[in-house]
């Protein structure tokens, strides 16, 4: 029986589903951002969409808001510096005190106080306030930071933001407070709106 030398045998026919040697090499050396641009179109299309920094931090603020204990409005805030989160805050009662959800009542709600008025009746702190206070407790400078908040800050928070030397405020939902807008404008704090769908992954 005659044997054919393996060195001279013909290669088996290529399967249409089998990747070529060039494709295998391309897949084996992906770039730092994910799949190589040389990868097949199907593989590139399957790569998940990467969040922008604004999307990332605003979605984090919405996640923080889910810790809120306010019966009226759930707000979350994230303080960012050099693309790093340095503090977070949500609206709720002072540390160690019963929260409104524990008490089961809201005095401003019972008195039918309109939104944005009689803040002194509220037993809670706003998300922005808690964010700045948390940074102070842990000795982290807020100078030059950016605040991401799910709701436009009120005038009280605006004054704290200005004195904390926060340079920019990025908010999602609007909140009618003419004085807050005026204060930010006079202080030169950059304010812009960036909306995200908190339920959209």
Let me know if 109 is a catalytic residue: no
Tokens of 120: 């002194």
**Catalytic entry in 23, 120, 128, 185:** 128
Helix (H) or strand (E) holding 149, with range, is strand 146-151
Task: Enumerate residues 6+ apart whose C-beta is below 8 A from 153.
Answer: 126, 128, 147, 161, 169, 171, 175, 177, 180
Name the CA dihedral angle for 91, 95, 99, 102, rounded to a multiple of 10 degrees: 140
Question: Is-contact 76 171, C-beta < 8 A?
Answer: no
Residues tagged active-site: 128
């Amino acid at each position: 029986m005659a044997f054919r030398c393996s060195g001279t045998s013909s290669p088996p026919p290529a399967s249409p589903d089998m990747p070529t040697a060039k494709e295998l090499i391309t897949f084996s050396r992906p770039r730092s951002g994910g799949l190589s641009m040389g990868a097949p179109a199907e593989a590139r299309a399957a790569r998940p969409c990467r969040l922008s920094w604004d999307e990332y931090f605003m979605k984090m603020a919405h996640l923080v808001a889910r810790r809120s204990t306010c019966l009226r409005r759930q707000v979350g805030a994230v303080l960012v510096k050099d693309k790093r989160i340095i503090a977070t805050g949500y609206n709720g009662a002072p540390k160690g005190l019963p929260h409104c959800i524990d008490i089961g009542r809201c005095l401003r709600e019972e008195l039918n106080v309109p939104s944005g008025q009689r803040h002194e009746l509220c037993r809670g702190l706003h998300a922005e306030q808690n964010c700045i206070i948390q940074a102070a407790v842990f000795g982290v400078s807020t100078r030059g930071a950016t605040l991401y908040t799910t709701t436009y800050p009120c005038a009280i928070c605006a004054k704290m933001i200005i004195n904390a030397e926060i340079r920019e405020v990025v908010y999602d939902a609007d909140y009618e407070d003419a004085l807050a807008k005026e204060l930010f404008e006079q202080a030169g704090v950059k304010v812009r709106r960036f909306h995200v769908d908190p339920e959209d992954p």
